[in-house]
Each structure stands twice: as C-alpha cells, then as structure tokens.
C-alpha cells in the first residue's frame, strides 16, 4: 500500500494508545488505496458491497480487527493492506502485530459469497460503455486524462490571473506601499515601525 506524506504520521500517547490507533484505522479506511474495497458510497452499497473494518482491541503490541459486511475483493488482501497501512502511520513499536478477531471473517469474496448471487454480472461491453460515458463500475463519474488536463489548466489560469492582479495593484502603489506589501507578504512587517527616530517604513 502506497502512503502519501500527507497521511503520515499519527501521534500516539504512550499512556493511552487506543485513540491514536483508532485514528490510524480511520485514515486507512478513508485512504484512496483502501476505501475502494469498502462499502463507503451509496453506489457500492446498492451493488451489495457493504464491507468495513472495525477496531476490536489492543493488547500489548497486538491489534485485533474485525471485518464486517460483504466484500467484492479478497478479504485476506483487504485485511493485510489495512494492517500494513496502520503500522506505517503509527510510531514504531506501537503495533507489532495485527490479527483478525475470527479467522472465519477472512473467508469468501465475490466469487464465493452468496451476498452477490443475485447481482447481475456486468459484461466487458457494458463496462466499456459506462467508461465511454465517464462512469466507473459503480456508476460514479470518472475523470479521464482530458478532463484532468482541463481542470489543471483552469486552476493554473486562475492562479496566474490572481498573481498578475496582485502585481498590477503593487505597480499602482507608491514606493512606500510597495515596500509595506512586500514586508507583509514575507512576514517582516513587525520589524519595521514608525517613530523612535526613524522615518516611516525604515528600521529604528
């Protein structure tokens, strides 16, 4: 499981590790890499995917988790990825081992679960037709390369316009106002004050 820097790290109180571990589990469940396996959207729930991962207990360095609901993906794979994620975002030594509450919870996925026996299988042709309309297997909107490029181009254009407007405003200001704006932008305005023998905008 790839973990982005923004997801690192969870702070844990050594005297009370449970809140930190629960926060790590929440981050795992909300991460892009793992959320796709869980019943985290209405479209997935409608498709029969209701799977989730719950905290059970922490004893010493052993964390016990529970799998609930129906999974389309292999349960062992989901469990392993969640455990790996949690150990990576927690400080070393907090969790040394991640175990399942009941080994039976790791059995079964789409091909063997009765939960999906009444679900009509989507054909390759149907999936391609959905993708052509910008929809994924669950009916959620996809962002293709063209849409992504357009979104980034618009964001860059807005940023450029804001910067140019800022420069125009500075260009219309007198020298003292320009200096003050620059100092404020750099967080140095507090070092330069009027009075005390110095002129306005000059160090005392």
Return the CATH number at 41: 3.30.300.130
In this structure, are 18 and 37 located in the same domain? yes
* Cα gap 101→103, rounded to integer Å: 7
For every residue of 123-159, DSSP letters joined together read PHHHHHHHHHTTB-TTSPBP--HHHHHHHHHHHHHHH
More confident residue, 11 or 196: 11
- Structural domain includes residue 201: no
- Structural domain includes residue 15: yes
Which tens digits make up the pLDDT trace of 43-80? Answer: 788 778 888 999 999 999 999 999 998 888 888 999 99
pLDDT band at 196 (very low <50, low <70, confident <90, very high): very low
pLDDT at position 198: 47
Question: Alpha carbon of 192 to those of 106, 115, 176, 177, 197: distances in Å?
Answer: 65, 70, 12, 13, 12
More confident residue, 51 or 8: 51
Domain count of the chain? 2
Query: Is residue 18's pLDDT more than 50?
Result: yes
* Cα gap 48→29, rounded to integer Å: 18
Q: What is the domain extent for residue 178?
A: 146-190
In this structure, are 42 and 116 located in the same domain? yes
pLDDT at position 100: 95
- Structural domain includes residue 156: yes
pLDDT at position 47: 77
Q: Residues near 112 by Cβ (< 8 Å), separated by ≥ 6?
A: none
In this structure, are 105 and 181 located in the same domain? no
- Structural domain includes residue 127: yes
In this structure, are 136 and 156 located in the same domain? no
Query: Is residue 33's pLDDT more than 60?
Result: yes
In this structure, are 62 and 162 located in the same domain? no
In this structure, are 68 and 108 located in the same domain? yes
pLDDT band at 23 (very low <50, low <70, confident <90, very high): very high
* Cα gap 182→82, rounded to integer Å: 47
In this structure, are 58 and 71 located in the same domain? yes
Which tens digits make up the pLDDT trace of 140-181? Answer: 665 666 666 777 888 888 888 887 787 777 666 666 666 666
* Maximum alpha-carbon separation in the chain: 86
Question: Alpha carbon of 74 to those of 37, 101, 113: distances in Å?
Answer: 9, 17, 11
In this structure, are 78 and 50 located in the same domain? yes
- Structural domain includes residue 173: yes
pLDDT at position 46: 79
In this structure, are 106 and 83 located in the same domain? yes
pTM score, whole prediction: 0.53
CA 127 to chain centre: 26
More confident residue, 57 or 202: 57
More confident residue, 52 or 118: 52
pLDDT band at 16 (very low <50, low <70, confident <90, very high): very high
More confident residue, 16 or 145: 16
Which tens digits make up the pLDDT trace of 74-113? Answer: 889 999 999 999 999 999 899 999 999 999 898 875 544 5
In this structure, are 134 and 79 located in the same domain? yes
């Amino acid at each position: 499981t790839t973990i982005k820097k923004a997801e690192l790290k969870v702070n844990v109180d050594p005297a009370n590790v449970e809140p930190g571990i629960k926060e790590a589990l929440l981050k795992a469940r909300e991460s892009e890499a793992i959320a796709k396996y869980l019943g985290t959207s209405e479209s997935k729930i409608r498709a029969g995917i209701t799977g989730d991962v719950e905290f059970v207990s922490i004893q010493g360095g052993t964390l016990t988790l529970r799998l609930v609901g129906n999974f389309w993906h292999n349960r062992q794979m989901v469990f392993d990825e969640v455990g790996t994620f949690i150990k990576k975002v927690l400080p070393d030594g907090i969790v040394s081992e991640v175990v399942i509450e009941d080994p039976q919870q790791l059995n079964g996925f789409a091909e063997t679960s009765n939960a999906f026996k009444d679900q009509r299988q989507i054909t390759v042709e149907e999936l391609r037709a959905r993708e052509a309309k910008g929809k994924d297997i669950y009916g959620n909107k996809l962002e293709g390369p063209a849409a992504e490029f357009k979104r980034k181009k618009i964001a860059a254009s807005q940023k450029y316009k804001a910067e140019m407007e800022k420069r125009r405003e500075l260009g219309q200001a007198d020298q003292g106002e320009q200096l003050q704006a620059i100092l404020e932008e750099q967080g140095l305005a507090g070092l330069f004050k009027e009075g005390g023998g110095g002129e306005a905008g000059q160090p005392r």
